[in-house]
Amino acid sequence: MFKKPMTQTQAVLGMVAAAAMWSMAGVVTRQLSQTQSFEITFWRSLFTVISLLVLLPLLQGKQVYKIIPWRNHLLWLSGACWAFMFTAFMIALSITSVANVLITLAVGPLMTAIVASVFIGHRLSLQTWLAIACAGLGIAYMFESQINLQGGKHVWGMAIAFLVPIAGATQWTLSQHAQAQGKSFDFLPSILIGAVVSCFVTLPMSWPMQATHTDLIWLAFLGCFQLAVPCALSVLCARVLAAPEVSLLALLEVIFGIALAWLGANETPETPVLWGGSIVLLSLFFNEWLSWRRR
């Protein structure tokens, strides 16, 4: 169990490391020889469960499973959001390019702002509305460029990927709502619940299992080092860093992920995707940076 809190510098470096680990999903998935979308999701979630069962006692003590508020409905709603994100992300990666998925996921902070505004009354600044509008234009340009490619398959992949920031926005809004009511909320147990739910949901659709021994090694790597470890690390960093700092540093996942897929899987992003993605990332960057400066 870690008793000393992180310093500011350690938290920043931790978030950079988390973003780097998250970004490995695309390039590692492209190394799989036989495993398909639902089976990939099942194995990754299963190995995430195993990893978290080891990590949770290390991070929060041996009594962690006794102190988890199992009857708290927010814990289970949060777990459902994580399960949705785990499943939709891997399915989207199996349909469209890494760049399409990661840039679509990058709208998460702006989607969170919209959901929080609608459901818990958070007021959005003009700067945030402008960022939402610009990011929307970038995403629309990307979607339009993919419509006629392979029968619109890439559009479906991006549409499924778009479900991830929606679930993420719901997750963060639940947390903000709980904090506003003076309730502490720990994300780590809900990540475990999400991984367990994802396993059960995708198992029936994973048959017949086709994963080779090499595929299972890659999938174990994904479950532990691409999901469980960085998710736990980001939760620890978020206790030290302000929300805009976390959002800015998390954007590195998009840059790292596209670069890794480009170098490690020969997946070259198309020009419209790069232009549209640049609009999205710049909108997010300036919105979060200005919010950070103002705070």
In this predicted model, what pLDDT tens digit does every residue of 156-194 receive, in sequence order? 888 999 999 899 888 878 777 776 676 666 778 888 999
Q: Among 80-89, 105-114, 222-231, which is the least confidently predicted range?
A: 105-114
Instruction: Quote the pLDDT of residue 1.
Output: 46
Provide mean pLDDT across the span 106-133. Answer: 80
Q: Distances in Å between the alpha carbon of 293 and those of 58, 242, 246, 280, 285?
A: 35, 11, 14, 20, 12
pLDDT at residue 221, as a whole number: 96
Quick one: 239 exposed, middle or buried, by C-beta within 10 A (0-12, 13-18, 19+)? Answer: exposed
* Lowest mean pLDDT across 92-96, 108-112, 214-218: 108-112
Structure-token pair, residue 30: 């492209």
Domain range for residue 46? 8-294
Domain membership flag for residue 26: yes
Task: Give the chain's mean pLDDT.
Answer: 84
Number of domains composing the chain: 1
Residue 222: what pLDDT? 95
Q: Is 3 inside a domain boundary?
A: no
Judge contact between 88 and 161, C-beta under 8 A: yes
What pLDDT score was predicted for residue 278? 86
Query: According to the model, what pLDDT value does residue 168 have?
Result: 85
pLDDT (mean) for 147-161? 78
Neighbours of 257 (CB within 10 A): 24
246 assigned to some structural domain: yes
Instruction: Classify residue 1: in a domain, yes or no.
Output: no
Q: In this predicted structure, what is the pLDDT of residue 45?
A: 95
18 or 36, which is more confident = 18
pLDDT tens by residue, 231-282:
888 878 877 876 667 777 787 888 888 889 888 888 888 788 788 888 888 8
Contacts of 141 (CB under 8 A, 6+ apart): 272, 275, 276, 279
Work out the pLDDT band at 198, boundaries 50, 70, 90: very high
Cα separation, 148 vs 157, whole angstroms = 13
